[in-house]
Structure 1
Amino acid sequence: MTKLTPTCLHVLPSYSILFFLLFIGHTYSQLYDQEHAALLKIKQYLQNPPFLSHWTPTNTSHCTWSEINCTSDSVTGISFVNTNITQTIPPFICDLKNLTHIEFQYNYIPGEFPKALYNCSKLEYLDLSQNYFVGKIPDDIDRMGSLRYIDLGANNFSGDIPASIGRLQELRSLRLYQCPFNGSFPPEIGNLSNLEELKLSLNKKLPPSKLPSNFTQLKKLKVLEITESNLIGGIPEMIGEMVGLEYLDLSLNGLNGKIPIGLFTLKNLRILYLYKNRLSGEIPGVIEALNLTEIDLSDNNLTGKIPEEFGKLEKLTGLSLSTNQLSGEIPESMGRLPALIDFGVFINNLSGPLPPDFGRNLILETFQVASNNFTGRLPEQLCSSGKLVGVVAFDNNLSGELPKTLGNCNSLQTVMIYNNEFSGNIPSGLWTSLNLTTLLIRENKFTGELPDKLSGKLSLLDISYNQFSGKIPSGVSSWRNLVVFEASHNMISGTIPRELTALPMLTTLLLDQNQLTGSLLSDIVSWKSLTTLNLSMNLLFGEIPEEVGRLPHLTYLDLSENQFSGKIPSQIGHQRFTELNLSSNLLTGRIPSDLENSVYSRSFLNNSGLCTTTSMLNLNICGSGQQKASKGSSIAVALIISLVIVAFIVALLSSLLVIRAYRKRKQALDSTWKLTSFQRLSFTESNILSGLTENSVIGSGGSGKVYRIAINRSGDVVAVKKIWDNRKLDQKLENEFLAEVKILSSIRHSNIVKLLCCISDGNSKLLVYEYLENRSLDRWLHRKNRSSTMSGSVHHIVLDWPKRLHIAIGAAQGLCYMHHDCSPPIVHRDVKTSNVLLDSEFNAKIADFGLAKMLIKPGELATMSAVAGSFGYIAPEYAHTTRVNEKIDVYSFGVILLELTTGREANYGDEYSSLADWAWRHIQEGNSITDALDEEIREPCYLDEMCSVFRLGVICTGTLPSTRPSMKEVLQMLRQCCNPLVYGEKNVKGNYDVVPLLKNSKRERTLESD
């Protein structure tokens, strides 16, 4: 037997180490090959998408691939974010045995929750958000016991949130937002003792339910976000025990009761959003949460005073207490908060002076104190930081001169201080502030004269009901971007300068109740966008220029109580005014025939020289005062006339036999038809009935066919909508017919299709409209009418952006008139591109009112028996509740704006989504808006406008009706093509609605950051 020497004993362990290293190397090689093969298999399963073209079976380590993360040379993470994947999750993905991290968010992945992930035993992080998953979250999801982070938000998961989620004890973050769940939040979530983040927002289909009280047991929770999820009841009193809470957002729910005292004792709390609930009572006065940076308690029913303790929140950057019932004074210490940027307390019952130190040591950007009872002056140092963007202080009792520092504040964009007691001159620098877009100072006691120059960005100027004097300066021609100029009820004198007609964007001009003299210039024809002109109660004279009747969009004209003379130009009769007043002038002659309508019965009063051929206008009948023919007329002339008459009668009698037979045949056809006219007609029912042939059909819809019918030899045509199917008209179509007739016969607007008459018999209904040459908008946008023949060849006609914007403004004007100027207001219920018609100049007109609904009063919710409308245009609340108000039209119009900017159809998407959903998703994903725009018209010079209108479309299609702007606001935004949340429009009282500068909506924040 061989004896082992010490040397041999030393060598044996070396061989063992070598063997061990060889074994480890072989194992690593096997693992590498296995993972490499699994990744290439995943690529093949996903159908070799271009973004994985670098995944090749070469010697390059897969750990270098950007989508892969490795730890110790083994795959532990895989990330496919926003890569347009349309396949399901690869069922063999857990062949990657060491996976701890999976990201597949922002894709188009279908199917149910992938249970194959249960095989990933080490999985800690799972993000499947923003996809198309359907069905229930599995009841056995707790099998994924290692999960620390799970995000399933923005999918189509439905049913209940499983209670088994409460058994995922390792969870730090749970995100189940924006899904159509229809159960309540399981209280078992309160068992997740390690949870740090809980996001359950935007689950709008949940039934009304309370926040589970055991959620307050989540002591480590830092983020709690449950917005727009139908929460009711009170905030649990024990919320003060959630000591780790840093971010709390329970906004946009139905929470009621008082704010728990313990909420303000959370020392780590930084963000507190409770806006748009039904909370009441006083704001707790004990404030220990000194780390608060943002507080938003707006749109509740809070009472009492603003706590003095708020003045200790030295880290506070934003405070919104607006739209409550708070009273008392603002604590003076709040004016000295060093970090405050946004301050909003509008629409409350606050009183007393404003803290004088506001702005002195701050970086203040927005200061909104409107609609309260404040007295005294505005703080002198509001703009000491040079960053102030907006001052909104209207509807108070503020007085004195404006702070001179506002004259040096070039950051200012909006100043709304109307309906106060301010006096003195406007600081000279304020007129020309570099970024000023809105200056509303009406209903004060300001004096002085108008400046030669204004801010180059100023679009809205309202100085009405003040004491301004002097002339309108010749430098007014430099006010190039002015859209609205209101200067009513001042002491402005002199003539209307020719330079005023050089403002191309002007839509509203109010100069009534001043001391203007001279004539109205014919140069006004340059006001192509003007819709409203009021020059009443001045000293103007001369003839009314015929150019007034050539302003294409003018719908409101008031020239009353002046000294205008001469005839009313016939061109004015061609306009369709919603308001016309030429009373109390020196006008003479006959009223234009187109204006001989009872609608204008009070439009011509106190003009003794005017006459009319009808008794509807309370004026003299033309010719009634003329003397009879002289009795001394020649007998010879009378005899000649008599002979001519006899000869004519003989000739007439000779033709009666021929005509009589024709009339009898025709009477059999027409005797049962009844024509009701709404305009002066140049045709009879016979002209219409004879043209109802198949060759004249130009379209059809759910209620009948549409015909193009020539009514005379001159080539004039009308459009006829026939509701007739050779059987007795059913009640639904009868109701639609009556609705359309009732509405269209009572409204007149240049952007609403003109209904000329209706013709009916026992079982047939005809509506006769003006014919619009370019037919419907959808034919132009979606290649249904783009082909045109020229020189024998076919080419495509594309609407360029200026035309599209022009169409959007026109359609908005029509809807704005329906919503805000009709009494009662009108909701269309079926706004879509096929119901926007275009004339030869591409002026838009709203059509098809068969589904319209007359509301009893503005803003009222009317419940319809069934949902009507077209997929892609139907507002969410209408589809779910059938409740109707004006905001459903705003939603539909927002879809049209998205169609105009993207070129896509309203039903773009799949069976679960539409263009509106796609556009919001595009924003959420952080994509550039430019990428969403129609490539056919995407030119650099129009990009800013197109992006602004796209954003407006997304805002109009907001899920909650309360977050959508009114049509008045939409119209103003379109005219501006700028930030839609800078200022509001006039309300029924003649004042402007509050549109806060400090946004609440996350949707708005996302848009702003894009």
Structure 2
Amino acid sequence: MPKPPFLFAKTPFPALFLLLILSLPFQVISQNLNDERSILLDVKQQLGNPPSLQSWNSSSSPCDWPEITCIDNTVTEISLCNKTITKTIPARICDLKNLIVLDVSYNYIPGKFPDILNCSKLEHLLLMQNFFVGPIPAGIDRLSRLRYLDLTANNFSGDIPAAIGRLRELFYLFLVQNEFNGTWPTEIGNLANLEHLAMAYNDKFLPSALPKEFGALKKLKYLWMTEANLIGEIPESFNNLSSLEFLDLSDNKLEGTIPEGMLTLKNLTILYLYCNRLSGRVPSSIEALNLKAIDLSDNHLTGPIPAGFVKLQNLTCLNLFWNQLSGEIPANISLIPTLETFKVYSNQLSGVLPPAFGLHSELKVFEVFENKLSGELPQHLCARGALLGVVASNNNLSGEVPKSLGNCRSLLTIQLSNNRFSGEIPSGIWTSPDMVWVMLDGNSFSGTPPSKLASNLSRVDISHNKFHGPIPAEISCWMNIGVLNASNNMLSGKIPVELTSLWNISVLLLDGNQLSGELPSEIISWKSLNNLNLSRNKLSGPIPKALGSLPNLNYLDLSENQFSGQIPPELGHLKLIILSSNQLSGMVPIKFQHEAYEDRFLNNPKLCANVPTLNLPRCDAKPVNSDKLSTKYLVMILIFALSGFLTVVFVTLSMVQVYHRKNHNQDHTTWELTPYHKLDLDENSILSSLTENNLIGCGGSGKVYRIANNRSGELLAVKMICNNRKLDQKLQKQFETEVEILKTIRHTNIVKLLCCISNETTSLLVCEYMENQSLDGWLHGKKQRTSSMTSSVHNFVLDWPTRLQIAIGAAKGLCHMHEYCSAPIIHQDVKSSNILLDAEFNAKIADFGLAKMLFDQGEPNTMSGIAGSYGYIAPEYAYTTKVNKKIDVYSFGVVLLELVTGREPNNGDEHMCLAEWALDQFRERKTIEDVVDEEIKEQCDRAQVSTLFKLGIRCTDKLPSNRPTMKEVSEILQQCSPQEGHGRKKKDHEVAPPLQNDTYPTTYK
């Protein structure tokens, strides 16, 4: 009987058929991957074959490419974050049928919203930090599965389409920092699954009220709408946001009262409503027991601080400053066990400070200044050893400083100015290891000046007190002091020569004391000194000529002393000089004989002048005695003869010394040259050019020479540091830091390091030479401007287009350091003297001796000491030793204010620096004409000047979190210039529109 065909054992058909069936999925998968690889390679080509995608090739599986994620052997995720892409995203990318995630953040992608609406399965779309322009497409709801959309920091404009409200799966929507100029779509209130909503920094939106429809977002946990041009009241419907954890509506123009239900939201942990126009009382019904931070500062809130805050047992930060709060501070607030930051300054609070502050929590920041508080400071502020700062100035506080503060090793600042404190200062305050600022002026403190100070201490103000005795010789150890104000005390004795060793000091005020004797001749070492006031003392002797050689000195007041002799003509470069009420004689130097000095030389009976405006006797010519004239000529001949003889002797000795030194160096010293760029000269050519004739600068960090490359004619700058100098280890460390950083940077707005030359005693940096030297010299006239520095086009004055060009270039350099170096670099000493200008006035950042590279941003980076220059130092130096990018932003903001106003960084007004002065002008609603530099007022672009002034104020905000990043600063500046056509915030073919008005922003604290 024949067998059925399928039972025939000899045929292979069943096994082959089974094998074929099993292999079909693998063939399909393989073909699918081949197709997707082909699509991705096509996408790569349309993106311009960026080098960052070199791993994309035809010989490997796309699932092995680092930018690609696959699930079940199909491409589901593309991550092109920070790949330096400059081309538009091709629509071909949507041929990947299973694409779920597309991330092209932090690139330079131009053009309109990418053509990706056919990516039907897309759930995550990240486009932040690019150059996208134009509107969000009205058909965006075609991406019906979209759950995560982030368009932050682009140039999208127009209305936010209502279609966004139809993306029902959306749980994350970030539209931060764009150019939207419509109104907030109420349809967003339809997004029932939305948990995170951020639309901050969209100040071009039409003034709009908060949509009450947002109150329907029951799942919303995060709402961020800082600086979004919001007006009107906070809707009562917001009391229904039961899931809300984070609410930030700061920097708007919201009015009315804070809804009573706002502080009853059970899940709320962060509440920021600062910098609005909210009025009325703070709600007393406080049930949001999870609150960790409350910031209601800079509003118009009145009434008392609610005692109900004591219920917030998780509260770490309470900011109520800049309001009109009154009454006493509730004692039970000091019992909150988690409280770290307490800021209630600039109110009308009265009564005594609760004595338990610091006893029950790790209090870190305690700021109560500018109120009507009385009584003593709490004794236990530093009981937990965490206190960083006590700021209680401008109250009616009295008594002695608690001795416990003298044992507080964590303190960074103590500011008790303008109270009624008395007694001696606990010695530990002066030596607290991290102390930065001590401000005790305007009290009745007594005792003698401290002989020891903390190494980081940079600012001391003990003026208007009762300190007595001599200035201690140990003052030479106060090496980081930048500002010392001891005016109006009872200090006596001579000014010690040790005081002249404070090489970093920029402001020295000793007026109104009982100091006597002559000024030490060693004052030549005060290279950083800007302001010197020794008036109303008993000082005598001649005025040292060396004062005229101090490169940064602008203000000198020696009035009401007993100085004698003639006024040194070397003082002619000073902007402000007051020498009245002394015993000076002779003719006032010609440079001072004009009306600006009419009251600066009064009450010097033996002084004379040839102009009536000085109100001094005229220097009448007297008959010449022929015998005296002959004697005079004879003396002159003898002097010349003796000078010639001494010159010959000196030159001979010098040649012998040079010969021996040269032989010694050849025998015992080996120079090592390390090139960082191609050079056509050797170390001998450089070393032989380091002569006095080529010396162009000399400061605290060494000498600078200008030398010429005889082969190419190129000019080079050589910075020399000698290790046998005082502070050699510190200078050598700065030198090594500068080399380490500059050798890794290649950017057109950062000075180029060509090579390094060193031996056992000397180190040399060889850099490109900057023909127009520093911005500081041009703005403030501290350097001699010769015809070799400039052309007649600029007529010795920086015109406005050039200033704008400099600002843009410097910002680009700093932005590159912060954002695009493999390890971010913090300069720490940004100032106009460290911005150098080439022949075309292009700006380059220089002097990286204090810079720091952030190799691991996950770990804290601390400063070993105070870095920077007075007037440019960010206020947070008083509270933290951590390095962050916002320190550079603050300093650059000061530079912007210098460019606009022409003022110096510590010359805002009599008692404030430039940043403080500018903030005052903004608060007083001064016009641009009131603040702009007189030299450019007639020819500057008013809109551009307004933008830079406002940006300078924003960069110098007291709160680092309120300052923009250098990337944002650079983008804003590039909007101002028609030449910067491809900057962010501007279409490629457009010039940024002028500002419509001169109202200043209301976002700065």
Same fold (TM over 0.5): yes
2:770 alignment counterpart = none
The answer to whether the 8 Å contact 1:838/1:844 transfers is no
The match for 1:593 is 590
Asked whether the 8 Å contact 1:100–1:125 carries over to 2, the reply is: yes
Alignment of 1:921-940 (within 5 A): none
Which residue matches 2:573? 575
AA aligned to 1:78 is I
Structure 2: 5+ residue stretches without partners: 627-692, 698-704, 721-733, 739-774, 836-842, 854-866, 874-882, 922-952, 969-1005
Question: Superposed, which structure 2 residues align to 1:659-674 within 5 Å?
Answer: none
Hey, what does 1:328 align to over in structure 2? 327
Mapped contact 2:818–2:825 kept (Cα < 8 A): no
**2:340 is matched by which residue type in structure 1?**
I
Percent of paired sites with the same residue: 45
1:490 aligns with 2:489: yes
How far residue 581 of structure 1 moved from its aligned partner, in angstroms, is 2.3
Residue identity opposite 2:575 in structure 1: F
Structure 2 counterpart of 1:823 = none
Counterpart of 2:332 in 1: which secondary structure? helix
Q: Deviations over 1:665-687 (max 9, x none)?
A: xxxxxxxxxxxxxxxxxxxxxxx
3-state secondary structure, aligned to 2:223: strand
Please name the residue that 1:47 is paired with. Answer: 48
1:80 aligns with 2:80: yes
User: In the alignment, residue 591 of structure 1 is paired with which amino acid?
Assistant: V
Cα distance per residue 1:467-506 (max 9 Å; x no partner): 1011100101111111111111111111111111111112
**CA drift at 1:524:** 1.7
Distance of 1:48 and 1:17 partners within structure 2: 44
CA displacement 1:749-796 (0-9 Å, x = unmatched): xxxxxxxxxxxxxxxxxxxxxxxx99x99xxxxxxxx99855463224
Report the counterpart of residue 811 of structure 2 in structure 1. Answer: 898
Matched residues in 2 for 1:287 and 1:969: separation? 48
SS of equivalent residue, structure 2 residue 713: strand
Larger RCO (alpha carbons 8 Å, 6+ apart): 2
- Provide Cα deviations, 1:430-449, integer angstroms capped at 9, x if missing partner: 11111111111100111111
Contact 2:401 2:421 in 1 (8 A): yes
In the TM superposition, 1:345-494 aligns within 5 A as 345-494=344-493
Q: 1:226 and 1:21 mapped to 2: Cα distance?
A: 56
Q: Does 1:268 align with 2:267?
A: yes
Number of residue pairs matched? 766
CA distance in 2 between counterparts of 1:839 and 1:614 reads: 28
Match of 1:954 in 2: 889
Question: How many angstroms apart in 2 are the aligned matches of 1:395 and 1:82?
Answer: 49
The residue type equivalent to 1:272 in the other structure is L
Q: Is the 8 A contact 1:126 1:151 kept in 2?
A: yes
Q: Structure 1 residues 788, 583: closer, same or farther in 2, change over 3 A?
A: closer
Deviation at 1:615, TM superposition (A): 2.3
SS of residue in 2 equivalent to 1:63: helix
Q: Aligned-pair distance for 1:613?
A: 2.8
* Equivalent in the alignment of 2:675: none
- More displaced 10-residue stretch of structure 1: 583-592 or 65-74: 583-592
Shift of 1:45: 3.0
Pick closer, same or farther for the CA change 1:217–1:852 going to 2, 3 Å: farther
Question: Could you list the per-position Cα deviations for residues 584-628 of structure 1 after superposition, in whole angstroms to 9, with x for gaps in the alignment?
Answer: 22223332333222222212222222233332222223349x8x9
Q: Show CA shifts across 1:284-323 (max 9, x none).
A: 1111111111111111111111111112211111121111
Contact 2:474 2:498 in 1 (8 A): yes
Distance 1:935 1:490 in 2: 45
**Whole-angstrom CA distance in 1 between matches of 2:554 and 2:43:** 64
Give the deviation of 1:332 after TM superposition.
Answer: 1.1
Could you tell me whether the CA contact under 8 Å between 1:390 and 1:414 is conserved in 2? yes
1:553 alignment partner AA: N
Q: Hey, what's the Cα distance between the residues in 2 that align with 1:436 and 1:207?
A: 47
CA contact (8 A) 1:835 1:847 kept: no
Residue 29 of structure 1 corresponds to which residue in structure 2? 30
CA 1:342 to 1:222, structure 2 compared with 1: closer, same or farther past 3 Å?
same
Determine the structure 1 residue equivalent to 2:96: 96
Checking the alignment, whether the CA contact within 8 Å between 1:370 and 1:392 is kept in structure 2 is yes
Structure 1 match to 2:801: 870
For structure 1, the 5+ residue unaligned runs are 634-772, 778-785, 806-830, 854-867, 875-891, 903-915, 974-979
| Amino acid across the alignment from 1:449 | T
* Alpha-carbon contact 2:827-2:851 (below 8 Å) kept: no
- Give the match for residue 1001 of structure 1: 962
SS in 1 for 2:179: coil
Could you tell me which amino acid in structure 2 is paired with residue 50 of structure 1? P
1:514-564 Cα deviation digits (max 9, x unpaired) = 111222222222222222222222222222233233333322222222222
Shift of 1:72: 2.0
Closer, same or farther: CA 970–576 of 1 in aligned 2, 3 Å: closer
Q: Is the 8 A contact 2:825 2:852 kept in 1?
A: no
SS at match of 1:183: coil
What residue in structure 2 maps to residue 149 of structure 1? 148
Moved more, 599-608 or 42-51: 42-51
2:31 partner SS: helix
SS at match of 2:339: coil
1:603 matched to 2:516? The reply is no
User: What CA deviation, in whole Å up to 9, does each residue of 1:855-913 have, x standing for no partner?
Assistant: xxxxxxxxxxxxx9439939xxxxxxxxxxxxxxxxx86x56536x55xxxxxxxxxxx
CA contact (8 A) 2:817 2:826 kept: no
Distance in 2 separating the partners of 1:48 and 1:1006: 26
CA gap 1:77/1:983 in 2 versus in 1, 3 angstroms: same
Sort the Cα spacing of 1:547 and 1:272 in 2 relative to 1 into closer, same or farther, 3 A: same
Distance change in 2, residues 1:972/1:245 (3 Å): farther
User: What RMSD, in angstroms, separates the aligned Cα atoms of the two structures?
Assistant: 4.6
Residue aligning to 2:194:
195
Equivalent residue, structure 2, for 1:767: none
- Which residue does 1:179 correspond to in 2? 178
Measured in 1, the distance between the counterparts of 2:716 and 2:34 equals 57
Aligned CA distance change for structure 1 residues 852 and 340 (closer, same or farther; 3 Å): farther
Partner amino acid, structure 2, of 1:496: I
CA distance in 2, matches of 1:787, 1:441: 46
Quote how far apart the aligned CAs of 1:25 are: 2.8
Amino acid at match of 1:530: L
Is 1:247 aligned with 2:246? yes
Aligned to 2:616: 619
Alignment of 1:834-913 (within 5 A): 839=783, 869-870=800-801, 873=804, 895=808, 897-898=810-811, 902=814
CA drift at 1:156: 1.3
2:438 maps to a residue whose letter is L
Structure 2 vs 1, CA of residues 999 and 301 (structure 1 numbering), >3 Å: closer, same or farther?
A: farther
Larger radius of gyration between Structure 1 and Structure 2: 1
Tell me the SS of whatever aligns to 1:374: strand
1:70 aligns with 2:1: no
Question: 2-side partners of 1:27 and 1:101: how far apart?
Answer: 23
Amino acid at match of 1:188: E
Q: Residues 629-649 of structure 1: CA distance to partner in whole angstroms, max 9, x if unpaired?
A: 99xx9xxxxxxxxxxxxxxxx
**What SS does structure 1 have at the residue aligned with 2:374?**
strand
- Change in 2 beyond 3 A, CA 1:368/1:800: farther
User: TM (normalized to structure 1)?
Assistant: 0.68
> Where does residue 306 of structure 2 map in the other structure?
307
Conserved? CA contact 2:706–2:718, under 8 Å: no
Does structure 1 retain, via aligned residues, the 8 Å contact 2:507–2:530? yes
Q: Secondary structure at the match of 1:794?
A: coil
User: Which one-letter code corresponds to 1:616 in the other structure?
Assistant: T
Aligned to 2:948: none
Alpha-carbon spacing, 1:958–1:206, altered in 2? closer, same or farther (3 Å): farther
* Closer/same/farther in 2, CA of residues 431 and 936 from structure 1, 3 Å limit: closer
Q: Offset of 1:189 from its aligned partner?
A: 0.9
Contact kept in structure 1, 2:708 and 2:715, CA below 8 Å: no
Alignment partner, residue 840 of structure 2: none
2:122–2:145 CA contact under 8 A, matched in 1:
yes
1:344/1:998 contact within 8 Å kept: no
How many Å separate the matches in 2 of 1:304 and 1:844? 61
Given that residues 827 and 850 in structure 2 are in contact (C-alpha distance below 8 angstroms), is that contact kept between their aligned partners in structure 1? no
Contact 1:100 1:124 in 2 (8 A): yes
